[in-house]
Amino acid sequence: MRNLVLIAAGATLLAGCDANRAPATRDTLVVYLAASLTKPMQPVLDSFAARTNTVIHRESGGSLEHARKITELGRVPDVIALADEEVFPQLLVPRYASWYAIFARNRMVIAYTDRSRHAREIRPDNWTTLLARPDVQVGRTDPDLAPAGYRTLIMLQLAERYYHESGLANRLLANAPKRNMRGNAAELAALLRAGELDYIYEYESLAVSNAFEYVRLPPEIDLGDPAFASLYREVSVPVRGAKPTDTTTMTGRPVLYALSIPRQAPHPAVAERFVEAMLSADGRRHLREQHIDMLDTLRFVGDAPAAVRAAAGR
């Protein structure tokens, strides 16, 4: 379920003002965020709101879910930041967006807490055995709603090949049943934190920002190393497309985040100012401090605004 948050940049100063004077107009910014970006992006949103006196409406959720709000419901934000750059060409470009900027990377890990069953035993060389035990509760995100969900399926298929264990992917999925599946990373993290799950398949940045323990996986399977991009591409999974009757195929590739300002953004001017601030050198520094692995050189696809490109190049 989406998390709708209203961020107000302080109280409007009315005391001592002329009673007949209209209050200053405040800009509005509507932002759709991939759930794994929610926590690290909050300080950036707060800072922008305070500096510009902007009211920010933030919706957090699965990246595919966000895309379908646009394609199916006609609900268009000012800025959309997703956990998979491939969602843009698959579902949004060119009809709903003319460009997107690839700005950060990530990798898949096994996250857990010190309360998780067998927490003292799990290691990079035994996680496939431990996560198949019947006494552990393993969670994952819905592949039809969030990239972490279909990336989990791709990662497990790659693991089966890497460890040369026939049927491994199915055994591990059987121990992460649908009752343990949630729509986005934030919901899954909440269950792990509450002790309702022992382990979750998730992004490294989410594990770090939530102070979870985690097992790093071999680069051949964690979807985090561009050197293994050709290996990742050997695996693909079908997910629901832009409409309920459509299916689209997601191919394994390094985890990359991307954002855009949609064509019909209701407040394009303030959206452009926000993206400039976010992608500037100062904005990238603040996001790195929040455990987002920002790219040193951002990549643009399509005709991005000149001011946004200039800010990202500084």
pLDDT recorded at residue 1: 42
Tell me what pLDDT residue 19 has. 43
**pLDDT attached to residue 240:** 87
Residue 93 lies in a domain: yes
Where would I find the beta strands (DSSP E) of the chain? 3-7, 28-34, 55-61, 79-82, 99-105, 108-112, 138-141, 181-182, 199-203, 213-216, 236-240, 247-251, 256-260, 293-302
Structural domain of residue 70, as residue ranges? 3-106+255-313
Mean pLDDT of 13-28: 55
Q: How would residue 16 be classed by pLDDT, with cut points 50, 70 and 90?
A: very low
pLDDT of residue 95: 97
The mean per-residue pLDDT over the stretch 126-140 comes to 98
Examine the domain organization and report whether 97 and 119 are in the same domain: no
Report the distance separating Cα 44 and Cα 110, nearest Å. Answer: 27
Query: What integer is the mean pLDDT of 160-170?
Result: 98
Which of 7-11, 130-134, 220-224, 276-280 is predicted with the least confidence, judged by mean pLDDT?
7-11
Q: What is the C-alpha to C-alpha distance for residues 45 and 7, in angstroms, rounded to an integer?
A: 8
Number of H helices, E strands in the chain: 12, 14
In a domain? residue 182: yes
Residue, of 5 and 149, whose pLDDT is higher: 149
Give me the mean pLDDT over the 262-281 stretch. Answer: 97
Given 207, 240, 273, which residue is the final one in a domain? 240
Number of domains in the chain: 2
Q: Is 250 part of any domain?
A: no
Same domain, 155 and 199: yes
Asked if 158 and 77 sit in the same domain, the reply is: no
Domain boundary among 209, 240, 271: 240
Same domain, 203 and 228: yes
Residues 179 and 262 in one domain: no
The per-residue DSSP string of 50-76 comes to HHHT-EEEEEEE-HHHHHHHHHTT---
Same domain? 131 vs 229: yes
> Are residue 154 and residue 59 in the same domain, yes or no?
no
Contact criterion met (CB below 8 Å) for 71 and 245? no
pLDDT > 70: what percent of the chain? 92
**Predicted local distance difference test score (pLDDT) of residue 57:** 98
Residue 248 counted as domain residue: no
pLDDT at 311 over 80: yes
Confidence (pLDDT) at 24:
61
Vertex 38, ends 34 and 44: CA angle to 5°?
Answer: 115
Task: Give the contacts of 241 (CB within 8 A, at least 6 positions apart).
Answer: 90, 91, 247, 248
Question: Residue 196 falls within a domain, yes or no?
Answer: yes
The answer to whether residue 219 scores a pLDDT higher than 90 is: yes
pLDDT at 102 over 80: yes
- Give the residue-averaged pLDDT of 200-218: 97
Q: Are residues 153 and 272 in the same domain?
A: no
The verdict on 97 and 113 lying in the same domain is no
pTM passes above 0.75: yes
- Neighbouring C-alpha atoms within 13 Å toward the C-beta of 127: 21
| Whether pLDDT at 200 is above 80 | yes
Nearest residue to 259 via CA among 51, 63, 70, 42: 63
Q: What is the pLDDT of residue 82?
A: 98
Q: Is 247 a domain residue? A: no
* Beta carbons within 8 Å of 260's beta carbon, 6+ residues apart: 79, 80, 88, 92, 97, 99, 100, 101
Percentage of the chain surpassing pLDDT 90?
A: 88
What CATH number corresponds to the domain at position 88? 3.40.190.10
Q: Which residue, 208, 240, 272, sits at the end of a domain?
A: 240
- Sign of the alpha-carbon torsion through 130, 132, 136, 137: positive
pLDDT at 118 over 50: yes
> Does some domain include residue 137?
yes
Position 307 in a domain:
yes
Q: For 29-50, what is the mean pLDDT? A: 95
Weakest mean pLDDT among 38-42, 156-160, 220-224: 38-42
Q: Give the pLDDT mean for 261-273.
A: 98
How much is the average pLDDT of 175-200?
96
Query: Quick one: pLDDT at residue 256?
Result: 98
| Shared-domain flag, residues 290 and 184 | no
Q: Write the DSSP string, 17-33.
A: S-TTSPPPP--EEEEEE
One domain for residues 141 and 225: yes
Q: Which residues of 49-60 are buried (b: 16+ CB within 10 A; e: fewer)?
A: beebebbbebbb
Within this chain, do residues 231 and 272 fall inside the same structural domain, yes or no?
A: no
SS3 131: coil
